[in-house]
Amino acid sequence: MELETSVYRPNVAVYDSPDGVEVRGRYDQIFAKILTREALSFVAELQREFRGHVRYAMECRKEARRRYNSGAVPGFDPSTKFIRDGDWICASVPPAVADRRVEITGPVERKMIINALNSGAKVFMADFEDALSPSWENLMRGHVNLKDAVDGSITFHDKSRNRVYKLNDQTAKLFVRPRGWHLPEAHILIDGEPATGCLVDFGLYFFHNYAKFRQTQGSGFGPFFYLPKMEHSREAKIWNSVFERAEKMAGIERGSIRATVLIETLPAVFQMNEILYELRDHSVGLNCGRWDYIFSYVKTFQSHPDRLLPDRVLVGMGQHFMRSYSDLLIRTCHKRGVHAMGGMAAQIPIRDDPKANEMALDLVRKDKLREVRAGHDGTWAAHPGLIPICMEAFTGHMGKSPNQIKSVKREDAAAITEEDLLQIPRGVRTLEGLRLNTRVGIQYLAAWLTGSGSVPLYNLMEDAATAEISRVQNWQWIRYGVELDGDGLGVRVTKELFGRVVEEEMERIEKEVGKDKFKKGMYKEACKMFTKQCTAPELDDFLTLAVYNHIVAHYPINNSRL
Ligand X SMILES: CC(=O)SCCNC(=O)CCNC(=O)[C@H](O)C(C)(C)COP(=O)(O)OP(=O)(O)OC[C@H]1O[C@@H](n2cnc3c(N)ncnc32)[C@H](O)[C@@H]1OP(=O)(O)O
Q: Which is nearer to ligand X, 127 or 274 (CB)?
A: 127
The continuous run of DSSP H or E covering 379 comes out as strand 378-381
Q: Which of 163, 209, 142 is nearest to 3 (CA)?
A: 142
Decide: is 465 part of the binding site for ligand O=CC(=O)O (CB under 6 A): yes
Q: Does 127 bind ligand X (CB under 6 A)?
A: yes
- Which one, 328 or 348, has the nearer CB to ligand X? 348
CB 313 within 8 A of CB 427: no
- Whose CA is closest to 185, among 30, 44, 6, 45? 44
Helix, strand, coil share of the chain (percent; to 5):
50, 15, 35
Q: Which of 177, 179, 214, 312 is catalytic?
A: 177
Bridge pairing between strands 460-462 and 258-263: unpaired
**x-or-dash string of contact with ligand X, 161-190, rule CB under 6 A:** ------------------------------
The DSSP H or E segment spanning 499 is helix 495-513
Q: b/e map of 393-407 (b: 16 or more CB within 10 Å)?
A: bbeebbeeebbbbee
* Closest distance to ligand X from the beta carbon of 48 (Å): 30
The answer to whether residues 278 and 241 touch, using CB atoms and an 8 Å cutoff, is: no
Closest CA to 452 of 111, 131, 105, 113: 131
- Say how far apart CA 159 and CA 535 lie, in whole Å: 44
The contact mask relative to Mg ion for 199-238 (x = CB under 5 A, - = no) is: ----------------------------------------
CB of 363 to ligand X, least distance (A): 15
Rounded CA gap, 180 and 194, in Å?
A: 15
Give the E-state strand segments of 244-371 in sequence order. Answer: 258-263, 283-288, 340-344
Please give the Cα distance from 343 to 351 (Å, whole number): 23
- Letters for 289-308 (x = contact with ligand X by CB under 6 A, - = none) are --x-----------------
383 binds, among ligand X, Mg ion, ligand O=CC(=O)O, none (CB under 5 to 8 A by kind): ligand X
- Show contacts with Mg ion in window 439-478 (CB under 5 A): 465
**Chain residues 526-545 in contact with ligand X, contact rule CB under 6 A:** none
Burial group, residue 91, by CB count within 10 angstroms (0-12, 13-18, 19+): middle
Site string for Mg ion, 401-440 (x = CB under 5 A): ----------------------------------------
- Note whether 148 and 154 are within 8 A (CB): yes
Q: In the complex, what is the shortest distance from the CB of residue 229 to Mg ion, in angstroms, rounded to a whole number?
A: 6
In the list Mg ion, ligand O=CC(=O)O, ligand X, none, the entry touching 115 (Cβ below 5 to 8 angstroms by class) is ligand X
Q: Residues 311, 315, 321, CA angle at the centre, nearest 5°? A: 135
Please enumerate in sequence order all residues whose Cβ is within 8 A of that of 118, keeping only pairs 6 or more positions apart, or say none. Answer: 167, 168, 171, 172
Site for ligand O=CC(=O)O in 113-142 (CB under 6 A): 130
Pick one of 274, 278, 463, 505: the residue that binds ligand X (CB under 6 A).
463
Under the binding rule (CB under 6 A), the answer on residue 103 touching ligand O=CC(=O)O is no
Residues 6+ apart with CB under 8 A from 263: 269, 272, 275, 286, 287, 288, 289, 293, 325, 329
388, interface contact from ligand X, ligand O=CC(=O)O, Mg ion, none, CB < 5-8 Å by kind: none
Q: Which stretch binds ligand X (CB under 6 A): 185-193, 357-365, 449-457, 532-540?
A: 449-457
40 binds Mg ion per the rule CB under 5 A: no
The active-site residue, picked from 331, 463, 471, 479, is: 463
CA pseudo-torsion sign 507, 510, 513, 515: negative
Looking at 188, 348, 390, 436, which residue binds ligand X (CB under 6 A)? 348
From the list 57, 93, 242, 344, which residue makes contact with ligand O=CC(=O)O (rule: CB under 6 A)? 344
One-letter identity of residue 426: R
Touching ligand X, residues 85-114 (CB under 6 A): 104-106, 111-112
Residue 108 CB, nearest approach to Mg ion (Å): 16
Q: What angle do CA 276, 279, 284 make, to 5 degrees?
A: 75
472 binds ligand X (CB under 6 A): no
Give the one residue of 86, 305, 456, 486 binding ligand X; rule: CB under 6 A: 456
CB of 380 to ligand O=CC(=O)O, least distance (A): 8
Among 99, 109, 264, 505, binds ligand O=CC(=O)O (CB under 6 A): 264
User: In this structure, is the dihedral angle defined by the CA atoms of residues 125, 128, 130 and 135, taken in order, positive or negative?
Assistant: positive
Residue 131 within binding range of ligand X, rule CB under 6 A? yes
292 binds Mg ion (CB under 5 A): yes
Number of chain positions touching ligand O=CC(=O)O (CB under 6 A): 10
Query: What are the φ and ψ backbone dihedral angles of 165, each rounded to 5 degrees?
Result: -105, 135
Q: List strand residue ranges (DSSP E) for 423-488, in order.
A: 455-457, 460-462
Give the torsion through C-alpha atoms of 431, 437, 439, 445, to 10 deg: -160
Tell me if residue 377 is catalytic.
no
CB of 541 to Mg ion, least distance (A): 14
Shortest distance, position 539 Cβ to Mg ion, whole Å:
18
Alpha-carbon distances, residue 383 vs 112, 193, 358, 436 (angstroms): 10, 38, 15, 23
Q: Does 455 bind ligand X (CB under 6 A)?
A: yes
Whether 177 sits among the annotated catalytic residues: the reply is yes
**Residue 311 within binding range of ligand X, rule CB under 6 A:** no
**Which residue numbers are catalytic?**
177, 463
Binding site for ligand X (CB under 6 A): 104-106, 111-112, 115-116, 127, 130-131, 291, 344, 348, 382-384, 454-456, 461, 463, 465
Binding site for ligand O=CC(=O)O (CB under 6 A): 130, 262, 264, 289-292, 343-344, 465
Binding site for Mg ion (CB under 5 A): 130, 264, 289, 292, 465
